[in-house]
Amino acid sequence: MVDVDGLKRVNDCFGHAAGDQLLRAASDALLRAAGSGATVARFGGDEFAVLAHVPDRRAAEAFRDRLQQSLRHDVVVFGNAVEMRASVGLAATADPTTRGADLIHAADQDMYRRKRQRV
């Protein structure tokens, strides 16, 4: 789960069209960082879900870190430089019977934990 930090501030300062531009920049960055084997979807508001098949937990953590790093740069929205940042949470399983809702919940909890820690 990926939460684009500061979207409300961009919307409040520069308008919702600027916020939409920030979301498009975030989705482009996620698509590039995730690669062709992953699925990137806007989950709602300022959140995205990224699904990928990786061999183990270490690879999953590296994937998460790559996604988060891809969202750490400035973007220009309607002529204004805006700092793009995001919090990324991870959930992984090797069990094909794990419910999707359980994975989403676990990734969401990890994302909020990491956001509080400002990782």
Per-residue pLDDT of 13-45, as tens digits, reads 999 999 999 999 999 999 999 999 999 999 989
Cross-strand bridge partners of residue 47: 3, 44
In one-letter notation, the amino acid at residue 65 is D
CA distances from 100 to 4, 18, 29, 104 (A): 22, 32, 24, 6
Residue range 61-108, pLDDT digits in tens = 999 999 999 999 999 998 989 999 999 999 999 999 999 999 999 999
Region 2-117: CATH code: 3.30.70.270
Closest CA to 116 of 5, 1, 41: 5
Q: pTM for this structure? A: 0.90
